[in-house]
Structure 1
Amino acid sequence: MKTVWIVDAAYLFNYGKGRPNGIDYLKLKNELENANGGPIYESYYLNSTPDPATDAQNAFHAWVKSAPPRGPKMRVQLYRLKEMRSKCPSCSHTFDRQVQKGVDVGIATLIIKLAAQNVYDRLILTAGDGDFEDAVSYIKSDLHKEFWLNGAEASLSTDLQSYSDQVLWLDDMVPAIDK
């Protein structure tokens, strides 16, 4: 059975912020491969980054692309951040902040594209966003792909859980996935 793993990097980063040293992607991939009963065929890491990216971000992305035993060997797809003007509801002060642009659409497109190309039989998605429900519903109902969901109990969409053949809880993988 060919398995593809797709990661919403912002989701996993936010989960890792609650851990003392963060999450180790290589250790997480090893845990997923154990649950999968064999190797993961392809892995994808999707995130936003400022333009230009920092040296630390570039080094991390190079590591994520590295093959085991050095790194988790993931294909990295980066999207630009966009400026968003916000207003404080209390004081009406306006401020700018950077937000992701295109990552969720990229993930949904990748889920459908790889399934339609018959690249995988099983998808493991590390994400918590219910916005992926239509893409997941399509690959399950129309393309008959197996869907495993990987995420945290506190932030995992019940809409996605309802489609999953199996839920792999990040919380149950601690401390094995800690840095």
Structure 2
Amino acid sequence: MDRICIFIDGSNLYHGLRHNLGRTDINFYQFGQKLCNGRKLIRTYYYNVPLDREDNDEAYRGQQRFFDFLKSTPYIEIKLGRMVQRNGFKIEKGVDVHLAVDMLRFAYADIYDTAVLVSGDGDFASVVNAVKDLGKHVENVQFPSGWSAHLSECCDISTVLDEEYLEGCFMEYR
């Protein structure tokens, strides 16, 4: 059975959900099952940066609740980068490199057969090609806005993340 590792660019997913669907309450377990499509999920890796509590305490606390929720979801591991100050702006550092290194390292260690990359960042094209050179498959899911044709062309399969695809992948409130 095909072994799957899912690599999620958390910021890309969050902003894509908010911009394209107007909601961010994704059920990561259901989302992972949808991405696996009956194949064996080894693990989902979620990459992001922690917000600075001093900048916005409410946003920080909300993100911490979200991270706690993710930690309670089976087969998910959170990998965090850092925020740095540049020219008066805070920017994410280390997230893309961490994701790319993990994709390549796990491919080399034969942890998975297929990587599913959840991102529309064309900068991942190089790591996708390197992973494919190791004999692995790479699938990509990304939103229609921010679609990277370059990334899509590198991947074996590219899927549009839209409302239809994500049906059944949101939290159910009762």
Counterpart for residue 68 of structure 2? 62
2:136 to 139, 142, 145: 145
Counterpart for residue 134 of structure 1? 126
Counterpart CA distance in 2 for 1:124 and 1:174 is 15
Q: 1:17 to 1:122 in 2, by over 3 A?
A: same
Counterpart CA distance in 2 for 1:162 and 1:26 is 28
Counterpart for residue 125 of structure 1? 117
Does structure 1 retain, via aligned residues, the 8 Å contact 2:42–2:75? Answer: no
Counterpart for residue 28 of structure 1? 31
* Alpha-carbon offset, residue 119 of structure 1: 0.6
Which runs of 5 or more structure 2 residues have no equivalent in the other structure? none
Paired letter, 2:117 = L
Question: Normalising by structure 2, what TM-score?
Answer: 0.84
Does structure 2 retain, via aligned residues, the 8 Å contact 1:29–1:72? Answer: no
Does structure 1 retain, via aligned residues, the 8 Å contact 2:8–2:118? Answer: yes
Question: Normalising by structure 1, what TM-score?
Answer: 0.82
Counterpart for residue 16 of structure 2? 15
Q: 1:64 to 1:143 in 2, by over 3 A?
A: same
Counterpart CA distance in 1 for 2:140 and 2:18 is 20
Counterpart for residue 82 of structure 2? 80
**Would you say 1:161 and 2:152 are equivalent positions?**
yes
* Alpha-carbon offset, residue 29 of structure 1: 1.5
Does structure 2 retain, via aligned residues, the 8 Å contact 1:21–1:178? Answer: no
Which runs of 5 or more structure 1 residues have no equivalent in the other structure? 86-95
1:97-108 pair list within 5 angstroms: 97-108=89-100
* Alpha-carbon offset, residue 3 of structure 1: 0.6
Counterpart CA distance in 1 for 2:115 and 2:166 is 22
Counterpart CA distance in 2 for 1:40 and 1:159 is 27
Counterpart CA distance in 2 for 1:148 and 1:55 is 33
* Alpha-carbon offset, residue 57 of structure 1: 1.8
Instruction: After superposition, give the CA deviation of every residue in 1:109-151 in whole Å (9 maximum; x if it has no partner).
Output: 11111101111110000011111111111111x2010110011
Classify the secondary structure of the residue corresponding to 1:41. Answer: strand
- Structure number with larger C-alpha Rg: 1
Does structure 2 retain, via aligned residues, the 8 Å contact 1:64–1:73? Answer: no
